[in-house]
């Protein structure tokens, strides 16, 4: 996941006095839907951060019209960085395990078949497994379904330390990243990447990109419509694409784990979308929806961490050693979810959305 994109339009300068928590974190009540402005209904109360240990309890509300949920109350903008003091923007441990190396090899095999400039691993096992539909889909989503044949200019908003843009650069894309975390920016710049410090609103309006990516970023902002509008300004007219991934509150995992569902991630996830809610958000921002689906690639991770939280475990976000039973159950859960989404397409753990900036005459 990429790091937070702090959007000042959502929380700053409203003239409200924050409610101080015992930890000194200031919070502002958020009773209204961030899309339509209607009063929401309580969804959960007394939630804790069992991932990274931010103190105090939190609540969420939900809009029955827009089918989105949001954090209520929400921390004020000045205190948001404190929510990320132990936050991991990328999982560096995955490739150090044999299963992680196998999964990476499977993805490389699948992408090589699709024309990406990769040397297909020589092992028989990854070649065989890469033909599984689920494995091929994971590989495609790893590059956000961006075909190498149309490489152009790409901006990754909330790019973290730049792992994604480094990979896309190797495929021929001209890449830029932006992130508010100075540590991540410094690391990426030392790798020779063009990474800027700040948010997308800090970039000139005259900047123009063929593709902008928001990989697990939109849920971190208080005003998602404004974020998409800022992206739209910097897309090439009449074909510039915006790619969005975000947790799906209508997922099978949420239905199973409820307040322990990994996707809630209080207090860092400000807004949680259903497919219907994200469609509405895209339209409100003046973008044209090209495709929207729900995906199962995160099902195992979400099951493992959610199951640990429901059993009372804490500091789960940095855990890598799960019980064998939990790992097996997580694999079974993903198999079940793969079957469920064939019948109920909105049940996947993650929403994958591609939208476009219309030509000027389309908006007149």
Domains of the chain: 8-363 (3.40.50.150)
Evaluated on CA atoms 28, 305, 219, 35, the torsion sign reads negative
Extended beta strands in 180-223, E state: 195-197, 211-215
Give the pLDDT confidence score for residue 33 in this predicted structure: 97
Residue 73, preceding bond cis, omega within 30 degrees?
yes
Give the pLDDT confidence score for residue 14 in this predicted structure: 30
Q: What is the pLDDT along the chain (364 residues), one digit of tens a residue?
A: 444 333 333 332 233 344 433 455 788 899 999 999 999 999 999 999 999 988 888 999 999 999 999 999 999 888 887 787 667 654 444 446 777 888 889 999 999 998 899 887 778 998 899 999 999 999 999 999 998 877 799 999 999 999 999 999 999 999 999 999 898 999 999 999 999 999 999 999 999 999 999 999 999 999 999 999 999 999 999 889 999 999 999 999 999 999 999 999 999 999 999 999 999 999 999 999 999 999 999 999 999 999 999 999 999 988 888 999 999 999 999 999 999 999 999 999 999 999 999 987 555 4
Give the pLDDT confidence score for residue 194 in this predicted structure: 96
Per-residue tokens: 122:
């020589």
In sequence order, the 6+-apart residues with CB closer than 8 A to the CB of 47 are 57, 58, 59, 60, 259, 264, 266
CB 43 within 8 A of CB 62: yes
In the beta sheet, which residues pair with residue 356? 241, 288
Give the pLDDT confidence score for residue 16 in this predicted structure: 37
pTM of the model: 0.90
Give the pLDDT confidence score for residue 277 in this predicted structure: 98
Number of DSSP helices (H) and strands (E) in the chain, helices first? 12, 14
Per-residue tokens: 285:
């921002």
Give the pLDDT confidence score for residue 320 in this predicted structure: 82
């Amino acid at each position: 996941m990429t790091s937070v994109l702090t959007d000042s339009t959502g929380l700053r300068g409203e003239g409200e006095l924050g409610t101080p928590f015992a930890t000194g974190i200031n919070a502002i009540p958020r009773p209204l839907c961030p899309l339509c402005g209607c009063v929401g209904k309580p969804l959960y109360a007394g939630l804790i951060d069992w991932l990274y240990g931010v103190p105090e309890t939190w609540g969420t509300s939900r809009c029955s019209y827009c089918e989105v949920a949001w954090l209520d109350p929400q921390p004020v903008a000045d205190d948001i960085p404190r929510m990320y003091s132990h936050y991991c923007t990328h999982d560096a441990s995955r490739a150090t395990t044999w299963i992680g190396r196998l999964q990476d090899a499977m993805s490389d095999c699948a992408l090589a078949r699709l024309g990406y400039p990769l040397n297909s691993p020589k092992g028989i096992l990854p070649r065989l497994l890469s033909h599984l539909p689920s494995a091929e889909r994971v590989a495609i989503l790893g590059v956000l379904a961006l075909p190498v044949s149309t490489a152009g200019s790409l901006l990754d908003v909330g790019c973290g330390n730049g792992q994604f843009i480094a990979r896309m650069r190797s495929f021929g894309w001209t890449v830029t990243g932006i992130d508010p975390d100075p540590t991540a920016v410094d690391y990426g710049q030392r790798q020779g990447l063009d990474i800027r410090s700040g948010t997308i609103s800090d970039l000139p309006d005259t900047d123009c990109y063929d593709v902008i990516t928001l990989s697990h970023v939109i849920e971190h902002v208080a005003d998602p419509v404004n974020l998409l509008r800022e992206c739209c300004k910097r897309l090439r007219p009449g074909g510039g694409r915006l790619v969005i991934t975000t947790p799906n509150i209508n997922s099978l995992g949420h239905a199973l784990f409820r307040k322990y569902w990994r996707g809630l991630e209080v207090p860092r996830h400000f807004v949680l979308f259903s497919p219907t809610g994200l469609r509405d958000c895209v339209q409100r921002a003046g973008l044209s929806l090209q495709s929207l689906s729900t995906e199962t690639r995160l099902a195992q991770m979400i099951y493992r961490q959610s199951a640990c939280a429901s059993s009372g475990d804490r500091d789960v976000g940095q855990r890598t050693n799960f019980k064998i039973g939990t790992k097996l159950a997580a694999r079974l859960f993903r198999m079940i979810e793969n079957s469920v989404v064939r019948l109920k397409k909105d049940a996947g753990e993650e929403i994958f959305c591609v939208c476009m900036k219309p030509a000027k005459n389309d908006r007149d």
